[in-house]
Amino acid sequence: MNGHTRTATSLLLLRLSVFVVMLVWTLDKFINPKHAARVYEMFYFVPNISEVALLVIGGAEMLLIAAFVVGWRKRWTYGAVLILHAVSTLSSYKQYLAPFEYSTNLLFFAAWPMLAACFTLYYLRDLDTRLTL
């Protein structure tokens, strides 16, 4: 396997894994809107977000991640995923300051390698050629 093939395969695996996480977060808005509303209130300081608003946001996210996973308009879709995940990661700053306060806080640290993966995908988007449009 040559270097380009290895790079393209690695980037495909990164893209698919980021997609899986983003898909679950998006589906949460449809399947468990009360949980999604609590997340918006706690981390994004958006109180009392309606289920309709969550459905609209979820629909837009679903379109974005569908475009992302097929590599459509990489500059925009990869960039948007990077920004969304960066906001999500940085909005959880309190969890990073007290990682051992609650057992679930340690899971927040998994956001950092995913943020690096999102950056890598954006930065190397021209080399991400496997299974893209």
Domain boundaries, the chain: 3-127
Using a 10 angstrom Cβ sphere, with 0-12 exposed, 13-18 middle and 19 or more buried, the burial of residue 53 is: middle
Angstrom distance (rounded) from CA 121 to CA 108: 21
109 phi, psi to nearest 5 deg: -65, -20
Residue 74, classed as helix, strand or coil, is helix
- pLDDT band at 104, cuts 50/70/90? low
End-to-end CA distance of the chain: 23
CA 54 to chain centre: 16
Q: What is the mean pLDDT of residues 88-104?
A: 83
Assess contact for 83 and 34: CB atoms under 8 A.
no
Q: What is the structure's pLDDT at 73?
A: 98
Q: What is the structure's pLDDT at 126?
A: 97
pTM of the predicted structure, to 2 decimals = 0.92
Q: What is the structure's pLDDT at 102?
A: 67
Phi-psi region at 30: left, alpha or beta (left = phi > 0; alpha = psi -120 to 50): alpha
Using a 10 angstrom Cβ sphere, with 0-12 exposed, 13-18 middle and 19 or more buried, the burial of residue 98 is: exposed
Q: What is the mean pLDDT of residues 92-104?
A: 79
* pLDDT over 90 (residue 3): no
Angstrom distance (rounded) from CA 75 to CA 78: 6
Each residue's pLDDT tens digit, 44-73: 999 999 999 999 999 999 999 999 999 999
